[in-house]
Amino acid sequence: MARLLVTGGAGFIGSNFVHHVVQNTDHHVTVLDALTYAGNRASLDGLPEDRVAFVHGDITDAELVDSLFADADAVVHYAAESHNDNSLHSPRPFLDTNIIGTYTLLEAARTHDRRFHHISTDEVYGDLELDDPERFTENTPYNPSSPYSSTKAGSDLLVRAWVRSFGVRATISNCSNNYGPYQHVEKFIPRQITNVIRGIRPKLYGAGENVRDWIHANDHSSAVLTILDKGTIGDTYLIGADGERNNKDVVELILEQMGQPRDAYDHVTDRAGHDLRYAIDSTKLRTELGWTPQYADFESGLAATIDWYKANEAWWAPSKDATEAFYATKGQ
């Protein structure tokens, strides 16, 4: 049994990870989360109190972070400002949390010699052409496009520097787009599902040809546990499940699965600097560490996600109006 400190554990992927850890291991988890607009304490409801503790605090609070590292065996770092559209509107919190926050954690990892796993994104690699036969690998040069992805790229480079300069025992994973329960309604898939539930037409940026490589959040969690267990210190692992689809196809599938005409959506103003395509080659993780995704069927994973949002309106309703009001100011 290990004591895991999970930053951002009240967010989308972090909370899915905490549920996954409780169900699949005997580790104890302490969640450190600032409960920003994106964090939701209710995402951890139902978890046993003897397995999961919650600390409300900020990853830039060096004193708090230091005390929590002292009591942990390993740290998994999910906390971030995570939404590209917000980063185009108000970049500063992205620098504070993604850069200074990660720096603060790395300093504590160094002081206490703690195993550290840094959660990052495939967006650090920029984007691909639609017809490019290559996918991102661990050797693809960094080329981030947005304030969000550039701060994630910066945080990755800090981790690499703390490994090399100070011997911090860290690994990094860069994952593709996640879907599943507990995702904030600002993000593409939950926004469209909850729009349909509310009788609002789904909103597709631009022509909708942009491709994302979808992976279920549970597969992300199993990959992270595998890297924590078997990963090589200092290494980067790409996480992906061969789930490339363009946005138009995803919107049409959501509408079809929710009993609506497939064309009942609107094209809206495109995202500034919108990355065209992400695609992950996860050969290293699969061959070196023996990981395989379990949720290969996107249609059934999406149907289960739609069912979750239908059954959990109380979880997402408080955020919906403010989210749509923000998008409306941008014609989106």
Decide if 148 is catalytic: yes
Give least dist CB 261 to ligand NAD, A. 28
From the list 33, 81, 123, 213, the catalytic residue is 123
d(CA 169, CA 21): 21
d(CA 109, CA 70): 9
Cβ pair 184, 319 in contact under 8 A: yes
Q: Which of 5, 14, 54, 86 binds ligand NAD (CB under 6 A)?
A: 14
From the list 122, 186, 213, 281, the catalytic residue is 122
Pick from 30, 32, 38: nearest CA to 56: 32
Residue nearest to ligand NAD (CB): 11
Q: Which of 119, 158, 251, 255 binds ligand NAD (CB under 6 A)?
A: 119
301 binds ligand NAD (CB under 6 A): no
d(CA 20, CA 16): 6
d(CA 189, CA 251): 8
Give the nearer residue to ligand TDX in terms of CB position, either 166 or 205: 205
d(CA 206, CA 194): 20
Residue 155 interacts with which of ligand NAD, ligand TDX, none, CB < 5 to 8 Å by class: none
Burial environment of residue 48 by CB neighbours within 10 A (0 to 12, 13 to 18, 19 or more): exposed
Residue 150 interacts with which of ligand TDX, ligand NAD, none, CB < 5 to 8 Å by class: none
Give the nearer residue to ligand NAD in terms of CB position, either 59 or 251: 59
Residue 58 interacts with which of ligand NAD, ligand TDX, none, CB < 5 to 8 Å by class: ligand NAD
Decide if 123 is catalytic: yes
Give the nearer residue to ligand NAD in terms of CB position, either 136 or 265: 136
The footprint of ligand TDX (CB under 6 A) covers 82-84, 121, 123, 177, 187-188, 191, 203-205, 210, 212, 247, 271
31-41 in b/e form (b: 16+ CB < 10 A) is bbbbebebbbe
d(CA 197, CA 192): 9
151 binds ligand NAD (CB under 6 A): no
Cβ pair 217, 260 in contact under 8 A: no
Decide if 205 is catalytic: no
170 binds ligand NAD (CB under 6 A): no
Q: Would you state the structure tokens that stand for residue 290, as one six-digit string? A: 């023996």
Q: Which residues bind ligand NAD (CB under 6 A)?
A: 7-8, 10-14, 33-36, 38-39, 58-60, 78-82, 97, 101, 119, 121, 152, 175, 177-178, 184
Active site residues: 122-123, 148
